[in-house]
Chains A and B, each alone.
Chain A
Amino acid sequence: MEETVPPSSSPIASLLPDELEAPPLSLGQLTWRRFRRHKMAIFGVVTLVFMVFYAFGGMLFFSEADANHTETGARLQPPSAEHPFGTDTIGRDILARTIYGGQISIMIGLTAMLVELFIGVSIGSLAGFFGGKVDSFLMRFTEAVLVIPQIFLLLVMAKYFAQSIPNIEMLGRTFSGSVVVIIFVIGITTWPYLARIVRSSFLSMKENDFVLAARATGASTRDIILRHILPNSIAPIIVAGTLSVAAAITLEAYISFLGMGVRPPTATWGNMLEGAYNYIDTAWWLWFFPGMLIALIVLAINFIGDGLRDALDPHSRAV
């Protein structure tokens, strides 16, 4: 009978074959363990959860009508019991606006990241896998986009697409079409960074044995890329993707600050800062709260990204 009851006397005998090794941990579990040890990353997660709850859960306390309700007689009031964050230039409650603005900002960050991910991974994987002329052509194209500093490209593109999309009605709420424009513009100006990372990962992976084996068994190119190589290079993609959410939120804030971002009355944290600059000393609450929220969420995401990078691949020194 192979009962696994350890005899209590000898220490070596107590090490039964099944227990010589701890059961192997999956990548996810390993990552989580290493991540857990990163105190700042945990702080980042907590902060991020709090902020998501603030933006989306806040809907339960404030309706959108509250966020858009103008009251010109009560304009520019400092923070008070009735308006904890004060009111803006036409008497709208800033707390409610940061809640609804946060939803848009976070959504822009996530969606822009997805656009960037899609384009960047596609181009990077094709370039890295096929090499040769395909690689050369795609890399020249990538460089072309990289050579222009991002802000310049963003401004030019934001102005170019400015009026192309009408207002959107979704879930009973109206969003300015410029939200889609901004997502698109951010996505197509940030993918080169990701494409380069994916490409170098593919370049080093494609010589590996498992790829050779897959080819020998007749797997199609698409299969090799999607089911074999990509899952193994997922680590830098995850890290880059996480950090790009923060970058997208920051970029949205920049363009809005320069006046070409999401059009009011749709609120985002970025465009709440747009006009607030003129009130720097008279109405500090106009710029302080949205600015703090942006800085906080970007900080949280950066912490998480840093933690993920250490957890997924402790040896990487990605720049």
Chain B
Amino acid sequence: MKNRRLFSFLVSLVVIAAFLAACTPAAPATEEPTAEPTAERKVATFIWTQEYDTLNPLYTNMWFVTVLYPIYTCQAWWFDDQNNPVPYLVTEIPSKDNGGISEDGRIITLKLRDDIQWSDATPITSADFKFTYDMVMADGNAVSSRAPFDLTESLETPDERTVVVTFTEPFAPWLARLFAGQSGAALLPAHILQPVFDENGTIDTAEWNKAPTVGCGPFVFQEWESGSFARFVVNENYWGPRPKIDELFFRFVPDDASQVAALKAGDGDVGTFFAMSDMPELEAAGVVIMKSLSGYNEGWYINQHPEKGNPALQDVRVRQALAYGFNRQKLVDDLLLGRAAVPATDWDNTSWEDPSIEPYTYDPEKAKALLEEAGWVDSNGDGVREKDGVDLVLKYGTTNREVRQDTQAVAQQELAEVGIKLELLSFDSDIFFASYAEDGPSANFSLDIIEYSDSPDAPDPNSVVWRCAEIPSDENPAGVNPTGFCDEEFEALWAKQETQVDVAERQQTFHQITKMIFEKAFWIGLWQDPDYFGFSSRIINVKMSGATPFFNVVEWDIAQ
């Protein structure tokens, strides 16, 4: 009797489980494999290792979303494979000659095309630009960044086709950020989101953020199943040339290993952010690896804070010894399979870098000589140099990525040979990059060498991490300057370049900046870190841009 109850309990469990498995879970009806043969419908499958957090361009910093801007959103201009601007929503790139930029460089005028419209056939007008601007600046919206609008005085719309942006100071990096680039704003549909904002006082929670069914790009969003996949289909009302591919399908996988497996097997057409060591396998399977020069470089930022930094690193010779004593070329050849070069500064391969700079070579003898000259001698034979009784021990920290931890171990070994002892520390990236207020190791000057990958505001060379005002301290807990270095002359150069709208003048200033960074070894480059995309041989006509990688997505096609 009791046993029957127990038995029936167990049986019912099994039956329920089987029933659940047999019935489709409550999700919407399945996407049936289409009746049309696949030859008719061209689908490109992307394998993404990180899932979107949101699809609203104002709220996300995730690279896996921002590279998609050319697919489902629109900006004023894209950047082509030479990183030159290509007009998109505007008729021409503003310049002094065509009156787009005022004499003093503060006022930028955008002239919009006549034929642009949203995917629901509503025309795109300057009102949408104004709305986007208002949304960025609205107090109720927790947008990820207000740049560059927090440097503007106003944004006016004298008529439906004209947008006038007035900056308080001439702002040289406007080309890379004003309604353009991965860190710039993309357009929001005013006719959809204005009512939401009016009702809630914020668009933080708008439906559109996770389902942007009204868009202005060549493809429009169709669905996003959390944790599994997302789908974009051709925008039937697209104002530009119709894309040749019918559908872009994004599959979310847990990690690199599954991504590489999918690409090799042909289950996916596009992949990105894989390790360099995976590339030979991918190429052997016929995947074409394309490089997007996004301006990222991995390097060591040397802590030179006058009070909190290690006094040993105040001496330029010690810093240079670090560069001479570590064979970075070999590291790149072995760990990265020779696919990257050792950068001299963050502005390598651009016209902003002083052409006379060559990366420090591997010269352990020179490193030892420099250290001896600086007074660091190994008098007690323990393999570590000391001076005035203090050992030369440097704390070297980075995040948990495998290639970084491998680099740490190799660096420790090589620098031990010239008498420098490295203490290795690694952190979870949210902890590592936490602000000074949260005692983040990259901000509280507890580390002597900080390794990570950063870029200037590509394609613009501007960078805020070298500014005196960005040094984190009790008064300024949100600062982002990891070296703690502040010097009048250096700061003056940075302040100057930010206002120099004339390119030639700006280049000169940057030559001086890069020379100083290099010669004084404020930053030691490890490897160039461009973005790599893997394309299966099915996808043709792809061109890669550094700033906006998928800029020519309308031209992509699938070879039959």
Contacts and interface: CB of A to CB of B under 8 A. Distances in A.
Q: In the complex, is A directly touching B at CB under 8 Å?
A: yes
Interface of A: 68-70, 72-73, 75-76, 89-92, 159, 162-163, 167, 174, 176, 259-260, 263-265, 275, 277-282
A162 B439 CA distance: 12
B153 interface: no
Given A75-B335, A260-B428, A265 B257 contact: no
Contacts, number: 69
Contacts of A163: 427, 431, 441
B173 to A, nearest CB: 35
A162 B255 contact: no
B405 A277 contact: no
B289 interface: no
A90 B431 contact: no
Given A90-B409, A265-B405, A162 B256 contact: no
B428 A265 contact: no
Interface stretch (B105-113, B144-152, B174-182, B418-426): B418-426
Contacts of B405: 264-265
B412 interface: yes
Interface of B: 255-257, 261, 275, 277, 281, 330-331, 334-335, 400, 402, 405-406, 408-410, 412-413, 423-428, 431, 441
A162 B431 contact: yes
A260 B426 CA distance: 11
B330 A265 contact: no
Nearest to B403: A89
A277 B255 contact: yes
Which 5 interchain pairs have the tightest Cβ spacing?
Answer: A72-B334, A275-B402, A90-B406, A278-B257, A264-B405
A265 B425 contact: no
A72 B431 contact: no
A280 B257 contact: yes
Contacts of B277: 76, 89
30 contacts: A69-B413, A70-B410, A70-B413, A72-B330, A72-B334, A72-B335, A75-B334, A76-B277, A90-B334, A90-B335, A90-B406, A90-B409, A90-B410, A92-B409, A163-B427, A163-B431, A163-B441, A174-B423, A259-B400, A260-B428, A264-B408, A264-B409, A264-B424, A264-B426, A265-B405, A275-B402, A278-B255, A278-B257, A278-B275, A280-B257
A68 B431 contact: no
Contacts of A92: 409
A90 B412 CA distance: 13
The DSSP consensus for interface residues of chain B is helix
Nearest to A72: B334
B410 A278 contact: no
A275 B330 CA distance: 22
A75 B330 CA distance: 13
Given A92-B409, A162-B431, A265-B424, 5 more contacts: A70-B413, A91-B334, A176-B425, A277-B257, A278-B257
B508 to A, nearest CB: 40
Contacts of B255: 277-278
Nearest to A159: B428
Given A75-B335, A167-B425, A265 B412 contact: yes
Contacts of A259: 400, 428
B261 to A, nearest CB: 8
Contacts of B412: 265
Contacts of B331: 72
B409 A68 contact: yes
Contact of A282 (B281, B426, B427): B281
Nearest to B335: A72
Contacts of A162: 427-428, 431
A91 B413 CA distance: 12
A260 B428 CA distance: 8
Contacts of B426: 263-264
Contacts of B427: 162-163
Interface centre among A73, A89, A159, A259 (most CB of B within 10 A): A89
A67 B277 CA distance: 23
A167 B405 CA distance: 16
B373 to A, nearest CB: 29
B428 A278 contact: no
A162 B425 CA distance: 11
A79 to B, nearest CB: 19
A64 to B, nearest CB: 13
B416 to A, nearest CB: 10
Contacts of A176: 424-425
Given A277-B255, A277-B257, A89 B402 contact: yes
A289 B15 CA distance: 41
A264 B410 CA distance: 12
Contacts of B281: 282
A92 B409 CA distance: 10
A76 B402 CA distance: 14
A68 B402 CA distance: 16
A307 B446 CA distance: 51
Nearest to A65: B413
Nearest to B439: A163
Contact of A73 (B261, B334, B400, B425): B334
A89 B431 contact: no
Contacts of B261: 281
A176 B406 CA distance: 15
A265 B409 contact: yes
Contacts of A279: 257
A72 B328 CA distance: 11
Contacts of B410: 70, 72, 90
Contacts of A70: 406, 409-410, 413
A52 to B, nearest CB: 27
Nearest to B408: A265
Contacts of A90: 334-335, 406, 409-410
Contacts of B330: 72-73
A264 B427 CA distance: 10
Nearest to B401: A275
A167 B402 contact: no
B525 to A, nearest CB: 18
Contacts of A264: 405, 408-409, 424, 426
Contacts of B425: 167, 176, 263
A263 B401 CA distance: 11
A90 B330 CA distance: 12
A111 to B, nearest CB: 22
Q: Which of A163, A279, A280 has the most CB of B within 10 A?
A: A163
